[in-house]
């Protein structure tokens, strides 16, 4: 257990000097085998805020699990903002869990900025959350119904960052919208209309992955496969692909560091195909494909990912038909416009924002 906070309550909340921020990262860190969208986002975000003078450090989940220790560090080091992953125990358990917390944890909570990099706290299967009957657009007066975000601390004091303004974000009182960026890669046109289909597997069932592979290889379309290896479906798909790769029908790019090996992944492909049944908050793989001149094909209901797509279909089978018929002629959608400098500026402003809100409401 940590000591109670010793800073008097009337002390200035914003001491002079550099701003300080802590960012939680998965325990694997930044090794390329587990690199995914969260790593891409946090890596470039932290690089950006450091250039703006913020003292930013990463801490692993294993440290973030001990809220009392993290809170004691935040108070001791006068940290201005903490960015936990969505899985953090800070977002577990509702009022009962809060009642048992140590004396510094309210100070930690006041500094927390939650970036909604996935929706698992609202939608455990990562599908699109249902509309909230209390906070739906136009419901200016709470109707007395049950808020669908009630278990996710919608009333603060955490500040919430969403990547887009969508109906389910309106349950949260203190919210900001900041998209991610993709200009860590240079804008280029690396597409070859006769090249392989770049197919990412792991965001639909392994049966549906088999539909993709059979349809494409059956039509004689060359395939380059990559995997969302953080998911069980992704690991299963990697095993599924092995016999296809042995027959040269499918090229596998199994592990790569996107910071240096983006050409190995994307260059020379005709389009990027990602059948995802998740509500994607952004999707770096698709944004990177667009940045490099590749059109994107995906399912209709997949959150922000659908906004990047030139080809869409309701089912995996229909999507593969479209890819076979029209994949070579598809034109890429517009590139995402936000840059990391702007993203970093907006986060630096959040980090520097005066912490006026009292530590109540938790």
65 class by beta-carbon count within 10 Å (0-12 exposed, 13-18 middle, 19+ buried): middle
Beta carbon of residue 278, minimum distance to Zn ion (angstroms, whole number): 21
Instruction: Name which position in 19, 114, 121, 135 contacts Zn ion (CB under 5 A).
Output: 135
Contact region for Zn ion (CB under 5 A) — 130-138, 251-259, 261-269, 316-324? Answer: 130-138
Q: Is 67 in the site for Zn ion (CB under 5 A)?
A: no
| Comparison of 95 and 248: residue with beta carbon closer to Zn ion | 95
Nearer Cβ to Zn ion (162/244): 162
Residue 42 CB neighbours (<10 A) = 21
Please count the helices (runs of H) and the strands (runs of E) in the chain: 11, 12
Smallest distance from Zn ion to CB 160, Å: 12
Q: Rank residues 146 and 264 by Cβ distance to Zn ion and give the closer one.
A: 146
Select the residue interacting with Zn ion from 49, 134, 241, 292 (CB under 5 A): 134
Separation of alpha carbons 276 and 273, rounded Å: 9
Q: Which is nearer to Zn ion, 173 or 195 (CB)?
A: 173
Joined tokens for residue 282? 């952004």
Nearest distance in Å: CB 134, Zn ion: 4
Q: Which of 52, 65, 139, 147 binds Zn ion (CB under 5 A)?
A: 147
DSSP 3-state assignment of 63? helix
Q: Work out how close the CB of 151 gets to Zn ion at its nearest, in angstroms, rounded to a whole number.
A: 11
- The token duo for 16 is 């002079």
Q: How many residues bind Zn ion (CB under 5 A)?
A: 6
What's the closest the beta carbon of residue 144 comes to Zn ion, in angstroms? 12
- Angle of the 232-246 helix axis to the 206-218 helix axis, nearest 10: 30
Q: 3-class DSSP state for residue 316?
A: helix
Give the pair of three-digit tokens for residue 287. Answer: 């944004």
- Cβ-based neighbours of 308, under 8 Å, separated by 6 or more: 283, 286, 287, 289, 290, 296, 298, 333, 336
- Looking only at Cα atoms, what is the longest distance across the chain? 72
Q: Distances from the Cα of 159 to the Cαs of 114, 234, 267, 309, 321, in angstroms?
A: 6, 32, 39, 31, 44
With CB under 5 A as the contact rule, the residue among 42, 79, 90, 132 that binds Zn ion is 132
- Using the rule CB under 5 A, give the single segment among 95-103, 124-132, 328-336, 350-358 that binds Zn ion: 124-132
x/- map, 80-119, Zn ion, by CB under 5 A = ----------------------------------------
- Measured from the CB of residue 279, what is the shortest distance to Zn ion in angstroms? 17
Residue 212 lies near Zn ion (rule: CB under 5 A) = no
Q: Which stretch binds Zn ion (CB under 5 A): 57-65, 127-135, 291-299, 333-341?
A: 127-135
Minimum CB separation of residue 114 from Zn ion in Å reads 16
φ, ψ at 324 (rounded to 5°): -65, -45
The residue range among 102-110, 131-139, 187-195, 225-233 that interacts with Zn ion, by the rule CB under 5 A, is 131-139
* Binding flags for Zn ion, 2-31, as an x/- string (CB under 5 A): ------------------------------
Q: What residues between 149 and 188 interact with Zn ion by CB under 5 A?
A: 149, 171
Smallest distance, Zn ion to C-beta of residue 37, A? 26
Rounded distance between C-alpha atoms, residue 68 and residue 99, angstroms:
13
Phi and psi of 309, rounded to 5°? Answer: -90, 145
Query: In angstroms, what is the minimal distance from the CB of 86 to Zn ion?
Result: 17
Find the DSSP H helices in the chain.
37-51, 61-64, 67-76, 94-99, 105-111, 206-218, 232-246, 258-266, 284-291, 316-326, 340-352
Residues that bind Zn ion (CB under 5 A): 132, 134-135, 147, 149, 171
């Amino acid at each position: 257990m940590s000591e109670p906070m010793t800073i008097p309550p009337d002390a200035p909340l914003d001491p002079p000097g550099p701003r300080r921020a802590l960012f939680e990262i998965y325990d694997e860190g930044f090794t390329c085998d587990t690199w995914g969208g969260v790593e891409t986002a946090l890596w470039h975000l932290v690089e950006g805020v450091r250039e703006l003078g913020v003292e930013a450090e990463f801490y692993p989940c294993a440290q973030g699990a001990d809220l009392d220790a993290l809170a004691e560090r935040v108070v001791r080091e006068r940290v201005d903002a903490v960015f936990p992953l969505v899985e953090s125990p800070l977002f577990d358990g509702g009022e009962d869990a809060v009642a048992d917390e140590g004396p510094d944890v309210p100070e930690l909570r006041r500094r927390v900025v939650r970036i909604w990099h996935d929706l698992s706290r609202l939608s455990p299967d990562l599908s699109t959350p249902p509309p909230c009957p209390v906070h739906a657009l136009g419901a200016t007066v709470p109707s007395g119904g049950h808020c669908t975000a009630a278990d996710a601390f919608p009333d603060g004091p955490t500040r919430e960052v969403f990547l887009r303004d969508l109906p389910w974000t309106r349950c949260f009182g203190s919210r900001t919208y900041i998209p991610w960026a993709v200009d860590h890669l240079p804008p280029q046109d690396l597409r070859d209309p006769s090249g392989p289909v770049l197919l990412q597997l792991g965001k639909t069932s392994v049966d549906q992955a088999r539909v993709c592979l059979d349809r494409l290889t059956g039509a004689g379309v060359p395939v380059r496969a990559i995997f969302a290896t953080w998911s069980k479906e992704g690991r299963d798909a990697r095993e599924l692909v092995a016999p296809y790769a042995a027959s040269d029908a499918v090229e596998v790019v199994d592990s790569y560091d996107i910071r240096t090996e983006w050409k190995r992944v994307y260059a020379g492909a005709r389009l990027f195909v990602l059948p995802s049944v998740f509500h994607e908050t952004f999707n770096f793989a698709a944004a990177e494909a667009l940045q490099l001149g590749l059109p994107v094909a995906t399912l209709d209901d997949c959150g922000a990912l659908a906004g990047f797509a030139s080809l869409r279909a309701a089912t995996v089978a229909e999507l593969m038909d479209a890819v076979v018929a029209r994949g070579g002629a598809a034109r890429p959608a517009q590139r995402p416009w936000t840059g990391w400098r702007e993203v970093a500026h907006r986060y630096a402003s959040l980090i520097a924002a005066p912490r006026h809100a009292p530590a109540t409401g938790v």
